[in-house]
Amino acid sequence: MYLPRGLIAQLYQKLVKRNHAASSPILLLVGLEPDALCACRILTALLKRDYIPHKIQPVSGFNDLICAADDLVKPMRTYSGGSGGLVVCLGVGGMVDLEEMFGLDYNDELGSRGTGDVEVWVMDARRPYNLTNVFDVPAELDAESGELVRKIPGIDMGRLPKSYQSTRGGIIVFDDGDIEEEMKAEQEAYCELSEMPEVGDEEEDEDDDEEDEMDGLDAPSSGQKRSLQDDEDADMSDDDGRPYQRRRSNSGGSIPSPRERRPPRHGLRILDGSSDFSRSDSRSRSTSPVTTVAPKPPSMRKLRQELRARRTKYNEVIEGYYDSGNTYSEPVSSMIYSLASELGREDNDLLWNAIVGVSSLELYGKTGTGLGLNPLSTAGGSSGWNGHRGERIRGVLRDEVRRLNPMDAKDFARETSLGDSTGVIPTSARSATDKSIRLSPEPRFLLLRHWSLYESMLHSPYLSARLHIWSDAGRRRLDKLLAKMGVSLTQCKQNYTHMDMELKRGLRERLLRFAPVYGLDGLVPPAPRGNDSKDGWGFVRSWGWKACLSAIDASVILGAILEVGDAKSLTESALDSKNFVGSQDHNEQAQVDWRENPAQEHITARFWTAYDALNNIDLLVRHIHTAQYLHKAILRTGTALIEKKQIRHLRAFRMAVVKEGPDVELFTHPGALTKLALWIAEAIVELNGTKGKGKGSELVMAGLDENRGKYIVVGLGGGGAGSAHTTRELIAKRDAKQKAREAKKMARLAERQKRRERRRLQRERAGEDVVSEYESESDESEEEDDDETEDEDETEELPKGHGRNRFGQAFRDIAGELGDSVGVKQDSFEACVVEVKKEDLSGFLERLSMQVVVTGMGPAA
C-alpha cells in the first residue's frame, strides 16, 4: 500500500493519538548513509517531543536487514507472542519485498499467518520500488467464510484513503510524488495481474473446444459460464479442510488462492508470457441480448488467448519498470522534514539536518539517472543536482532558511558593508550566540574553511578533473590560475580563515573572471538574479565562535566517519585498528581489532559516532581530519591509477582495480570506493570527451579486501552513450536552446500581432467598431494554444529510462546465470554494488562485458 504525500502528517497524528504508556517502542531501521542518518535525527526529534518511545537499529545491508527481521520484527507479531507495533524503514527496504522478509504474509509452510498487527512505514529514495510493497494489500481472514481476502474497504488499487486507520498492519510506502504522478501504468498492471484467475496451458484449449461442441448449440453460454464464473466461486480448500490451496477446475485449469494471484514476489524475477497469471474481465463476458436467437459466445480458446495477451501485456509493463535501471528520487531527510513542517514543528536544527541530508546525495553521485556523474551541474555550486527536481527541493530549503533566519537591520547593514550579501564566503558567526543558517555562494572547493585555499582546490574532484591535477602540468595550471587571480603561494597555502581579508572579499569575483579560461565555468554559482533568488547558492551554519560549516562540509565529514571511523590517532603512514570501530559510548564491546571480526559489525558501529556528531559540533569538528585524510587518499590513489595506466577499456565500460598501495584498505567500504570511482570517472570524461570510441563515463571500480578474500565492485555511469558531457558543451547546448526558444516566441508574437491587425482591417472595412465576443474568444484561445505549445516544447524530456545506470540489473543477471559456481554476493542496498570472490573477478568481468553490450549500456569496442 502507499500513502499519498498529502496524508503523511495525518498518519503521524493518528500514531500520536493511539500511543500510550503501554505501547511497544517504535523500531527504526536506518541505513548507514548521511541522508538516512539525518532523517533519523529529524524523526527521533519529533518522537521525543510527543513522548513516543523508540529504538534505533542501524542496518548496513541485506544481511543486517534479515537479522533485524528475525530478531526484532518477527517477535513483534501477535501470533508470535508480541503485541504488534510499528517499524519505520529509513533508507532501507524500498527495493525488496518486506512483507515476505518480515514474515507478514500468510504462509502456513513457514509458520507465518499474516501481519500480526505489525505495521511498516517505508521511506527510501532508491528506485525502482518493489511493487509488492507499493500496491499490495495485506490479506485478511473473512470471519464468515473463513477465506483469505485482500479487499479492504476504502483502499483503491493500493492507495490509502484519508479515513485509513492503522489497526491492521501491513506495508505502507510514503509517496514522494513518483507513485501517483509517474506510475499509473505500473499500478494498473500490478492490480490487474493480482486479480487474474489462472487458466490452463494452450494444450487445454483443444479440450475445451471439444467440450463446448458436446454441450450443444441449445446452451451456448454454459461452457463459458462454467469455466470462468463457477471457477471463481469454487471451494478454496482441499480434502483435509486446509484453505488456500489450489484445486483443479472442471475445465482442467487450476484456481489460485488470493495469495497466489498476486504478481511475482520479487520484481526483478518477472514471469514471461508462459507464466500462470491471467484474468477474466467482466467486460469480456458476452451478454445475451433480448432476442429470440442468442449469438454464439466466444470459444474458450479465444477467451484464453485474450487473457494470455492481456497477461503478457501487463507483465511486460512491470518487467519494463524493473529493467529501466536504478535511480534516486527525493532524499529521505527532505521527506521527513516536510512531515515536521506540516506538523508545525520545524526549527533550525531540523532544517539543518534536512539540508545536510540533501547535500550528501551529490557527494555520492546519487542522481535522477542512478549512481554516476551528474551531467547537469553547470550553474555552479550544487544547483544541478538531480535536475529540475533537485533544484526545486533546494529552492524550498532556501525559502525555509529565509523564513526561520530573519536578518536584523543591523546585521543587514553589516553584511552590506562587508559585501556578504553579494558573494563573500562567510567564515565566522555574527556573534558568540549566533546559530543561524545563511546562504553562501559556495565554490566547488573541498573543506575550504578548514584547509588552505591551495589544498582545498587541489583535492576538489571538480577542479582536479578539469585541470588534470594528477600530472605535473595540471599542478602548474593550478599555480597559474592562482597567479592570475593575484593570490601568492604564501597566502594560498596558509589556512583560509587566516588569509588576507581583501583577498577573501574579492575571491569570488576573481574566480568568475579567470575560471572560464581553464574550462571551470561551473566553479562558483552565478550572481543573484531578480528577487534575491540566489540559485545555486549553498548553505552555511554557525555555532557561535566554535565553528562555521557549510552543508557540503558537514556531509563530507559524516561520510568520512561512516567510511573510515574514528580518526583520533589517524596518521598519514598507517591505519590503526581503532579507526575502524565506533563510538565507545554506544559500542564498547566492539573495541577490538577490526581484522578479527566481520567488517559489517564495525561499519555498523560507526553509525553511532556519526549520529552523535550530528548533534555535537565539537565531535564533528574533531573528525575534520578524518575527511581530509580520506580525500588525500582518493587523490593519491586516483593519480596512481592514471599515471600507471591501470584504467582499461572493456568493450562497453572502463575498468579499474585497487589492489595495492598504502590506502587499499580504505576502499573496502562501498562509499569510499564510490567517491574514488566518481573522481576517476570525471577525469576520464575530461581526458576522452564524449565523442568517438571512448565516449561515456561508464566505469566499474573494484577494491580488494584482502582479509576477506573479496573484491568490492561498484558500477558507475549511465545506461547509454553520451550520458555524461563536459561542462562547456552543456552550457553551449543550454544557451542555444534558450536562444531558439526566445526566437520562436518572438516569431509567434509577431504572427499573433499580424493576425490581430488583419482582423482589425477586416472589421473596419465591414463598418464594425466593436470586436465581437466570438472573435475575442477565438483570439484568446489561439493565444492559449500558442502558450501550451511553448510549454510542451520547454518540458520536452528524453524517453523514460534513458541514460540510467543498469549495472545493478547486469550484476543480478550474471549472478543468476552463474549460480553458486561464482562467488557473487549483493549485500549492499545499492543495486550496483556487489562482492566478488578474489579468484572469480576475471570471469565476472568477462561476463559483465558481454552482458552490458546486450542490454545496451554503452558502445561496444
Contact 833, 701 (CB under 8 A): no
Give the confidence band of 661 by pLDDT, cuts at 50, 70, 90.
confident
**Residue 723 region, left (φ>0) first, then alpha (ψ -120 to 50), else beta?**
alpha
Tell whether 596 is covered by a domain: no
Domain match, 754 and 652 both: no
Q: How distant, in Å, are the alpha carbons of 266, 315, 318, 705, 714 from that of 831? A: 14, 22, 18, 20, 9
- Radius of gyration for the chain, computed over Cα atoms and rounded to the nearest angstrom: 31
Query: Average pLDDT for residues 642-651, to the nearest whole number?
Result: 87
Same domain membership, residue 436 and residue 411: yes
Of the candidates 155, 181, 207, which is a domain's last residue?
181
Give pLDDT tens digits for 307-348: 888 999 999 999 999 888 888 999 999 999 999 999 999 999
d(CA 767, CA 61): 81
Split at pLDDT 50, 70, 90, the class of 175 is very high
Do 105 and 173 lie in one domain? The reply is yes
Which of 158, 181, 204 is a domain's end point?
181
pLDDT digits (tens, 9 = 90+) for 566-624: 655 444 433 444 443 333 334 333 333 333 345 556 677 789 999 999 999 999 999 99
- Provide, rounded to the nearest whole percent, the portion of the chain with pLDDT above 90: 34
Identify the residue whose cell numbers are 567510511.
563
Q: What is the pLDDT of residue 369?
A: 81
Q: Say if residue 126 is in the same domain as residue 6.
A: yes
Q: Mark whether 754 and 848 lie in a shared domain.
A: no
Same domain membership, residue 788 and residue 664? no
CATH code: domain of residue 25: 3.40.50
pLDDT band at 483 (very low <50, low <70, confident <90, very high): very high
Q: Following DSSP, what letter does each residue of 420-454 receive, concatenated?
A: GGGTPPP-S-SSTT---EEEE---S-SSGGGSBHH
Residue closest to 539 by CA, chosen among 345, 359, 340: 359
762 burial via Cβ count (<10 Å: 0-12, 13-18, 19+): exposed
Out of 113-117, 458-462, 649-653, give the one with best mean pLDDT: 458-462
Number of domains in the chain: 4
Domain-embedded: residue 689: yes
pTM of the predicted model, to two decimals? Answer: 0.78
Highest mean pLDDT among 162-166, 210-214, 447-451, 740-744: 447-451
In this structure, the answer to whether residues 703 and 718 fall within a common structural domain is yes
Predicted confidence (pLDDT) at residue 762 exceeds the cutoff of 90: no
Q: What is the mean pLDDT of residues 197-208?
A: 62
Q: Output the CA–CA distances (angstroms, integers) from residue 607 to 242, 454, 473, 621, in the order listed.
A: 47, 32, 41, 17
How many CB atoms are located within 10 Å of the residue 647 CB? Answer: 19
**Any domain includes 301:** no
| Domain span at 674 | 646-723+804-855
- Does 159 share its domain with 34? yes
Preceding amide of 53 cis, omega within 30: no
pLDDT of 723 strictly over 50:
no
In a domain, 239, yes or no: no
Q: Are residues 438 and 536 in the same domain?
A: yes
Hey, which residues does 371 pair with through a beta bridge?
366
Q: Does pLDDT of 44 surpass 80?
A: yes
Please indicate, yes or no, if residue 229 is contained in any of the structural domains.
no
317 Cβ neighbours under 8 A, 6+ residues apart: 185, 186, 188, 189
pLDDT of 687 strictly over 70: yes
Question: Residue 696 maps to which CATH number?
Answer: 3.10.310.20
Q: Say how far apart CA 294 and CA 354 lie, in whole Å.
A: 67
Rounded to 10 deg, the angle between the 332-343 and 348-363 helix axes is: 160
Q: Specify the pLDDT at position 251.
A: 34
> All 3 cell numbers of residue 469?
591535477
Give the side-chain half-sphere CA count within 13 A for 578: 10
| Together in a domain, 788 and 808 | no
Residues 146, 45 share a domain: yes
Q: Which of 142, 165, 181 marks a domain boundary?
A: 181
Within a domain: 83: yes
pLDDT tens string 128-162: 999 999 998 887 666 666 666 666 777 888 888 88
Residue 296 burial by Cβ neighbours in a 10 Å radius (0-12, 13-18, 19+): exposed
If we measure between CA atoms, which residue out of 329, 430, 316 comes closest to residue 389?
A: 329
Which of the two residues, 771 and 93, has the higher pLDDT score? Answer: 93
The answer to whether residues 529 and 664 belong to one domain is no
Q: Which residue has the higher pLDDT, 723 or 517?
A: 517
Q: What is the pLDDT of residue 225?
A: 37
Q: Tell me whether residue 590 is in a domain.
A: no
In sequence order, the 6+-apart residues with CB closer than 8 A to the CB of 563 are 606, 630, 666, 669, 671, 672
Instruction: Please determine, for residue 646, whether its predicted confidence score (pLDDT) is greater than 70.
Output: yes
784 inside domain: yes
